[in-house]
Structure 1
Amino acid sequence: MPTVAQYLAHRLHALGARHLFGVPGDFSLSLLDSVLETGLLEWVGSPNELNAGYAADAYARTRGIGAVVTTFGVGELSAIDAVAGAYAENVPLVQITGAPATGRDGLLLHHTLGDGDLGRFARAYGEVTAAGAVLTHEDPCARIDEVLAVALRELRPVYLAIPADVALAPAERHGATTVVPTPSDDGRGSVPRFRQAARELLDGAHSAAVIAGHLVERTRSRDAFRALVAAADSPVVTLTSGRGAIDADHPLFAGVYVGEIGAKRAVLAVETADVLLEIGTLMSDAVTGVFSHRDDPAHTVHLGLRTARVAGQEFAVPFATGLSVLTALLADTALHRELPDLPPGGPVAGETLDQDALWAVLERRLPAGSRLVTDIGTTFWGAAGITLPPGVDVVAQPLWSSIGYALPATLGCALAAPGRRPVLVIGDGAAQMTVQELGNLARRTDAVVVVVDNSGYTIERALQSPQAVYNDVASWDWTALVRAFAPGVDLRTGSPTTPAELDAELVEALADDRMTLLHVRLDALDVPAGLQGLADRVHGR
């Protein structure tokens, strides 16, 4: 009979996971041995738990589930920042803690605070997860299923602490499956009332704009969203958090909307529409240009994960149902198509290698179907200003904004979708946070990594105190460093100093199947247009 740990492995595999990220520790060793005996999940060891959590987060964004294993106390607390980010960003990540065997409460064990309280860290995780369980010998498999179902239903991280003896106990429910109930009407007529309210708002409108947010991708609703777009026959914009919702070459795409600092075409599309259709959006400060977006509840239909709003009135309508209802309504509504007649704009490369040139070259060379991974600093704002090729999305963390996320996230992206090559563009300050993962990237992936060396935290310089010493970081030789992290690995490095050299390096890198790292030095005060717009907005300019 399989063990409880093996039962969990079977569940994760059935839900789409093929890898398991983490760092071992003595309390998790029996758990790991038993899980890996199944051969269902490939172990991906990280240099630290935070990196493992970031990688598992990006993996879950692609495959619909991701899991990270840590040891009790020191390990799980190291990963809690990554789990909190998954909560903020609607990512179904499973934090698995190898815990001390049952019956040890009160003992002065290592990895504790020396007071015998073994429940502290599970309580801490209660603040950043949608569900959790400390398994016991009382029906542990049922608890696993309950917790996993919440992760999938709520698109939030969950917590499983598995004591060493419970991990090896016989699983009594080997033939069971994890059942995720399909959301439906709440029995109070919410769906018909939503339909009627949306119909009344649309009937009084001549034009609309569709705004795509992150939930389109998290819920794997791209096809349903594109059906809605076809029915609306109206301009479509994406937030920076939802750029994979629709390709930039779609005839109705009007650009990336970041409030007043976004693409002018996108701003015009939103500002001139009679009705706004917000599909899976979360209008946080970073994606709205510090709340410079059109905030117009009276003329907005908003679809969230569990609720929908029409003209400020809320209905208990789940996302998929809301999409279906709204699509049907739009198919019967005669909206006037008003796509702003403006060029998309974007950076232009000059003779000097600066932010404009960097992003102009990247815009030209990014392959269709690849994945652009950025951190929340200058690279996030540079990416916001370019037009993406078909099939390219952006993996970033705009709400939680934990610096250093992108480098381990690139590993998660690469392992989750081997056919989609990740291109990581990351500042030197962010890269120094999680640099150890370069070893795994070099050994296990064909990622193209562009380190933007601008001597520290340029996004902070743009927002305040540009000459402050706290924004400086030590200067590193990135091409030597990646070879030190991956001795004997056949990889490519380069240090282009002109736009033409960067272009040539990218062409060669993308024609090669080795991991490539390009070290690009830029001025510490050089910022992309989007970040300059954000800074101007912050300072009231």
Structure 2
Amino acid sequence: MATTVTLAEYLGRRLLQCGVAHVFGVPGDFNLTLLDHMATVDGLAWVGSPNELGAGYAADAYARSRGLAAIVTTYGVGELSALNAIAGSAAEDVPVVHIAGSPSTAAVATGRLVHHTLADGIFGRFTKAYAEVTVHQETVTAAHATDQIDAVLTAAMRHRRPAYLSIPQDLADLSVDAAPLSRPLTVSPAPSEAFRVRLAELLAGATRPVLVVGHLVARFGLGDTVLAAARAANIPIVTSIAAKGVIDESEPLHRGDYAGTMVDKRTASIVRTSDLVIELGTVNSDVLSGFFTHRPSDDQVVHLWTTTATIGHDTPVDVHFPDAVQALADLCANVRFSPVDDTHTATTASSAAVDDHAPLTQAALWTAVQEWLPSGTALIADTGTSFWGAMSLRLPEDTVFSGQPIWSSIGYALPAVLGQGLADPERRPVLVIGDGAAQMTVQELSTIAAAGLKPVVLLLNNNGYTIERALQSPDAAYNDVAEWDWANLVTALAGDKVDYHRAETAADLRHAFSATGDAFTLIEVILDKYDAPPLLRALAERNSGAPEEN
């Protein structure tokens, strides 16, 4: 091994060690030297996007699958374009490292008036902006470059949140010591014996415990560990709607999705009547809690977060989420709870009879999706009718589900197909997205096609923002979007790499599903602009009225 490498090569090799094989982004003059030298790292592929926002969304989805992702942008204009995506990663606990190529150290030292700045000689503004949405920030210096890179990557993996790395243009090819590369980065465990003892006491005194699985279980890849613990101790599981699919829905101990009383009153009852509730990485935001109808914290409610745990209203103790989950698994191996008569069948899409030749309705759409959706896929649903319709599905075996219910930025899911598909190429993405959301990030269809991915895309054309129509002022002009010719647009963006279908009836949709084969397929689904899935209507009612008691 060479005794020295360039800083850019060091970064690239560290990313590979952390499981990152693709780097997303957009080139710009301040990052070109960085990209040139990162390109020399075997096994690390560049994935360019039409804009930084799409690249950020793709990186987010990649990190959800791989445990880490990287996006490279240029200074100022590039990093600000990606800021919304990185903020979403922060809200959803996704470890994306944002690498910004920045002006040279000489330009900064002399306050030179350069482009991509406000032409006032001040260079720290955008780092301050990123400090608001990242868990760690570093601007590389010649003296501490490798330590700073390692600190950023370690922080992102430990906290499962974004981190920020600014690399000055003239330091990208800096010669640095390669020796640290022989020691892979590790996240030091933080066990807490006091937490383990207290949890053991609670388990010993419980008769009707329940595990509430949150999105952090997915972020840390601990679904199998949690399921093994539940099986060992015979503890029922409910999943936050941010963690749908983390536990196989055919699992006998899985009782359904939980968002207070909004999604399923039976899961709400299970949580309410349990004498020990262990919340594994949940966030009780307005939507995820069913507008605050979830069970509030009490002495029998345990919350595990990324680096802390809380029992009731006690002071949080320091314990890393994987260590806390492992402690739970160890304790569950030594207890066994009696079966509880709470037989539960998870909510499914409507199975009512469908008129194959009538105009498609939301009910008919989701019935057809339920009947067709293959196992082993990655179902990705954008915010709005897509997400709330998908929530009603009973997912087939070995199906990954992804959405953005906390940040809820429309347009996220289309670039997410790119990240998910590259991160887990054996699993076919299935995207459901509304026409309004798709108009935000549609350019990424070209990148998806260029990458050789072959998803199935359901584009729900309901003439605008149906989720906003459901919430307020359904006929307001601001809920309309310009009408696009999707058939010709798909051809313009991806040529003959995409098979286009138009579905106006259930028969059309079933025919399109049967014709998907293994090709990149886009199905334009024509729906009434006022029609909404039942759960979206429930969301709208909760949003506009007083919360229901749990």
Sort the TM-score into its range (normalised by shorter chain).
Answer: over 0.9
Spell out the pairing of 1:290-309 with structure 2 (5 A cutoff). 290-309=291-310
Aligned residue among 94, 101, 106 for 2:104: 101
Q: Which residue of 2 aligns with 1:394?
A: 401
For residues 538 and 204 of structure 2, the distance between their equivalents in structure 1, rounded to whole angstroms, comes to 36
Q: Where does residue 245 of structure 2 map in the other structure?
A: 244
Question: Which of 354, 374, 378 is the matching residue for 1:371?
Answer: 378
In structure 1, give the amino acid aligned to 2:280. Answer: I
2: CA distance between counterparts of 1:85 and 1:449?
A: 23
> Does 2:287 align with 1:286?
yes
Change (3 A) 1:339 1:472: farther
Query: Cα distance, 1:507 vs. partner?
Result: 2.5
Structure 1 343/181 Cα, relative in aligned 2: closer, same or farther at 3 Å? closer
Q: Deviations over 1:305-339 (max 9, x none)?
A: 11112232232222222222223333444433225
Q: Distance in 2 between matches of 1:168 and 1:203?
A: 58
Structure 1 runs not aligned, ≥5 long:
186-190
In 1, Cα distance between equivalents of 2:56 and 2:232: 39
* Aligned residue among 515, 519, 525 for 1:514: 519
Q: TM-score normalised to the size of structure 2?
A: 0.93
Range moving further from structure 2, 50-59 or 203-212: 203-212
User: Which residue pairs with 1:483 in the alignment?
Assistant: 491
CA RMSD after TM alignment: 1.7
1:183 equivalent in alignment to 2:184: no
- Whether the aligned pair in 2 keeps the contact of 1:347 and 1:357 (CA below 8 Å) is no
Which residue in 1 is equivalent to 2:326? 324
Give the C-alpha shift of residue 343 in structure 1. 3.6
- Cα distance in 1 for partners of 2:12, 2:244 equals 33
Matching of residues 219-368 of structure 1 within 5 Å: 219-313=220-314, 314-338=316-340, 340-348=342-350, 350-351=354-355, 352=358, 353-368=360-375
Pair 12,334 (structure 1): closer, same or farther in 2 beyond 3 Å: closer
Which residue matches 1:188?
none
Cα distance in 2 for partners of 1:332, 1:253 equals 21
Residue aligning to 1:405:
412
Query: What is the CA–CA distance in structure 1 between the aligned matches of 2:113 and 2:30, rounded to whole Å?
Result: 15
1:112-191 paired onto structure 2 within 5 Å = 112-176=117-181, 177-185=183-191, 191=192
State the Cα distance separating 1:496 from its structure 2 match.
1.2
Q: CA deviation at 1:514?
A: 1.7
Instruction: Give the deviation of 1:95 after TM superposition.
Output: 0.6
Contact 2:18/2:185 (CA < 8 Å) preserved in 1? no
Distance (whole Å) between structure 2 residues aligned to residue 192 and residue 450 of structure 1: 49
Letter in 1 for 2:457: V
82-91 vs 292-301, greater mean Cα deviation:
292-301
What SS is found at the alignment partner of 2:299? helix
User: Is the Cα contact below 8 Å between 1:23 and 1:49 reproduced in 2?
Assistant: yes
Asked if 2 retains the 8 angstrom alpha-carbon contact of 1:429 and 1:457, the reply is yes
Distance 1:26 1:161 in 2: 14
The answer (yes or no) to whether the contact 2:8–2:173 under 8 Å persists in 1 is yes
Which residue identity is paired with 2:141?
T
The amino acid that maps onto 2:135 is A
Distance 1:3 1:251 in 2: 53
CA distance in structure 2 between the partners assigned to 1:342 and 1:6 by the alignment: 53
Q: Return the alpha-carbon distance in structure 2 between the equivalents of residues 343 and 319 of structure 1.
A: 30
- Larger deviation, residues 209-218 vs 475-484: 475-484
Give the drift of 1:375: 1.1
The answer (yes or no) to whether the contact 1:225–1:245 under 8 Å persists in 2 is no
Matched, 1:82 2:90: no
Q: Distance in 2 between matches of 1:260 and 1:211?
A: 14
Per the alignment, residue 15 of structure 1 pairs with 18
- Conserved in 2, the CA contact under 8 Å of 1:27 and 1:72? yes
Residue 275 of structure 2 aligns to which amino acid in structure 1?
A: D
Query: Aligned with 1:286: secondary structure?
Result: coil
3-state SS in 1 of match to 2:291: coil
Give 1:16 deviation, angstroms.
0.7
Query: TM-score w.r.t. structure 1 length?
Result: 0.95
Offset of 1:263 from its aligned partner? 2.6
Q: Which amino acid in 2 is paired with 1:248?
A: E
Give, in whole Å, the separation in 1 of the partners of 2:97 and 2:280. 26
- Is 1:61 the counterpart of 2:64? The answer is yes
Residue in structure 2 matched with residue 422 of structure 1 by the alignment: 429
State how many pairs are aligned: 533
Alpha-carbon shift at residue 256 of structure 1 (Å): 1.0
Is 1:471 the counterpart of 2:472? The answer is no
After superposition, the Cα gap between the structure-2 partners of 1:342 and 1:89, relative to the gap in structure 1 and judged at 3 Å, is closer
Q: Name stretches of at least 5 consecutive residues in structure 2 with no aligned partner.
A: none
Cα pair 1:479 1:518 within 8 Å, conserved: no
Aligned to 1:494: 501
Q: How many percent identity over aligned positions?
A: 46
Q: Does 1:531 align with 2:536?
A: yes
Residue 195 of structure 1 deviates from its aligned partner by 2.8
* Contact 1:234–1:338 (CA under 8 A) maintained in structure 2: no
